[in-house]
Amino acid sequence: MASEPIRVLHFADLHIGIEAYGQIDPQTGLNRRVVDFLQAFDRVVEHAIREEADLVLFCGDAFKNRDPSPTHLREFAARLRRLLEAGIPVFLLVGNHDLPGMEKRATPLDIFGEFRPLLRVGDHLMVGRREAVHRIRTRRGPLQLISMPFPVRARLLKDEAWRNLPAEELDHKLREALHLLLQRMLETEIDPALPTIVAGHFSIEGATYGSERQVMIGYDVVLPPSMFQHPAIDYVALGHIHKHQVVGDGSPPIVYSGSVERVDFTEEEEPKGFCWVEVRRGDAQWRFVELPARRFTTLSIDLRNASDPEMAAIAQIRRAASSVREAVVRVHVRIRPEQMEGLREARLREELEKAGAFYVSGIRIEREEISRLRIALGEVERLTPMELLERYLESRDPPPDPERRARLLRAAEQLFARGED
């Protein structure tokens, strides 16, 4: 057993390339929201170097989609380089957003694995595209990592008959195949004397979903926490779900680090960051490290009793200046129909910009049974179909209840996935 615990920085879901709620930054030429995600990555790198991490473990979804731009690849590589130059091993797990349309094509992460010999980093840079056991030499001793990337049906289910299976039976077969793979690795490939981490990118029963459901790529499978309750496993590091959370009974810890930046208003109240893990054989201590993510703020303004609705709205915006400054802002205004002539949306936008709003997402005016959502010019082209559907559902008056909303989004997700196939 090592005299000191092995220090692992566990993070996930960078999604570099998300541009919603942002404009071009003239200094970098990048969308300002892309800069937000890159700055979050910078803080992860700085913490790993400052605290002398023994391994940086990235649990999937490096980019918004499977075809990142050369610029986004360059920015990702520059940050990897800083870690490698500091002598910190890096493990990159493949997530659903990293997967190509066909199994035999490369993922955006594969290129970094191909450059290992040229970079002379040996086993300091690893890419996990398959279910496998990896032995990693760290400065504080050896560590075992079981990689479980986003499940690919074509690889896990050899019998082509799976294509005609109903969804429930397909779920069962995928869970069974993954469980058998994990058991085989635990029983025949690992050294029981070494600390062992499972790195995965999938959903676990009991986890709370967030905005990742709106930008989902690929078929999702949900695994039971009991699958990982094995005496050889010390910690389960997960990506895929954007909300930081612990699933199961804590033995071993099954932890979603969550995304490092907020994606939209569904994450308005969620802290963002990464996990710092200290692991020995038979024990893992971890803590969540919060990052200063971009704030998303909703202003609710009720003008129904105002004699001068525009001045009343401006006064409320000015009172909320501290929460508006440098935030992505949306405004919900309630007003009587006869007051409409006394309210100019352009004036409210002007006041929000004066207050220092990073981006004004929309101003929704509610009068009697009429509700409308204004989306900023040019944003429609940057939103995915799922993001547009989310905006539409949000604009309904009244909005659908959470259960119906979830059903509608799941159905749309399946339709979009069929369209990609």
Whether 81 maps to a domain, the answer reads: yes
Asked which of 51-55, 113-117, 332-336 is least confident by mean pLDDT, the reply is: 113-117
Structure confidence at residue 100 (pLDDT): 63
Helices within 246-369 (DSSP H only): 309-319, 321-324, 345-354
Q: Using the predicted structure, report yes or no on whether residue 392 has a pLDDT greater than 90.
A: no
Rounded CA separation 365/310 (Å): 13
pLDDT at residue number 43: 98
Q: What is the mean pLDDT of residues 386-402?
A: 71
408 in any annotated domain: yes
- Tens-digit pLDDT profile for residues 83-111: 999 999 999 999 988 776 556 666 777 66
Q: What is the mean pLDDT of the chain?
A: 86
Q: How confident is the model at residue 370 (pLDDT cuts 50, 70, 90)?
A: very low
Q: How far apart are CA 201 and CA 219, in angstroms?
A: 12
Domain match, 179 and 263 both: yes
| Residue 352 shares a structural domain with residue 402 | no
Same domain for 134 and 211, yes or no, is: yes
Residue 106: the pLDDT is 64
User: Do residues 280 and 303 both lie within one domain?
Assistant: no
How many whole angstroms from its chain centre is CA 291? Answer: 14
Residue 377 pLDDT grade (very low, low, confident, very high; cuts 50, 70, 90): low
Total-model pTM: 0.81
10 Å CB burial of residue 140 (0-12, 13-18, 19+) is: middle
Q: Which of 239, 264, 291 is the last residue of a domain?
A: 291
The pLDDT of residue 144 = 97
Q: Which of 244, 259, 291 is the last residue of a domain?
A: 291
Q: Are residues 286 and 365 in the same domain?
A: no
pLDDT band at 121 (very low <50, low <70, confident <90, very high): very low
Q: Which of 59-63, 78-82, 300-304, 410-414 is the least confident region?
A: 410-414
Confidence of residue 215 (pLDDT cuts 50, 70, 90): very low
Other residues' Cβ atoms within 10 Å of the Cβ of residue 8: 29
- The range of the structural domain enclosing residue 104 comes to 6-291
With respect to residue 340, please indicate whether it lies within any of the assigned structural domains.
yes
Q: Does residue 1 belong to any structural domain of this protein?
A: no
At residue 289, the pLDDT reads 98
Instruction: Count how many domains the chain has.
Output: 3
| pLDDT per residue as tens digits for the range 135-180 | 999 999 999 999 999 987 766 666 665 566 676 777 788 889 899 9
**Same-domain check for residues 45 and 185:** yes
Considering the domain architecture, whether residues 286 and 172 belong to the same structural domain is answered as yes
Q: Is the dihedral of CA 103, 108, 113, 117 positive or negative?
A: positive
* 47 plus 111 within the same structural domain: yes
Same domain, yes or no: 266 and 400: no
Q: What percent of the chain has pLDDT over 90?
A: 63
Residue 322 lies in a domain: yes
Query: Of 255, 271, 291, which residue is a domain's last?
Result: 291
Assess if residue 103 is contained within a domain. Answer: yes
In eight-state DSSP terms, residue 342 is G
Look at residue 129 and tell me whether its pLDDT is greater than 70: yes
Give the per-residue pLDDT at 386.
77
Note whether 238 and 263 are same-domain residues: yes
pLDDT above 90: residue 393? no
User: 400 lies in a domain?
Assistant: yes
At residue 301 the predicted structure's pLDDT band, cuts being 50, 70 and 90, is very high
Examine the domain organization and report whether 348 and 387 are in the same domain.
no
- Express each pLDDT in 1-32 by its tens digit: 447 999 999 999 999 999 999 999 888 889 99
Q: How confident is the model at residue 218 (pLDDT cuts 50, 70, 90)?
A: very low
Residue 236 pLDDT grade (very low, low, confident, very high; cuts 50, 70, 90) = very high
Q: If pLDDT is split at 50, 70 and 90, which confidence band does 276 have?
A: very high
CB 146 within 8 A of CB 159: no
Question: Per-residue confidence at 413, pLDDT binned at 50, 70, 90?
Answer: confident
> What is the domain-level CATH number for residue 336?
3.50.80
Provide the pLDDT for residue 189: 95
Query: Is 370 within the bounds of a domain?
Result: yes
Check whether residue 387 and residue 370 sit in a common domain: no
When mean pLDDT is compared across 59-68, 102-111, 190-199, 383-392, the lowest value belongs to 102-111
- Mean per-residue pLDDT, 299-308: 93
Helix intervals (H) in 134-246: 153-156, 167-188
CB environment 205-225: b (16+ within 10 A), e (fewer) = eebebbbbbbbbbbbbbebeb
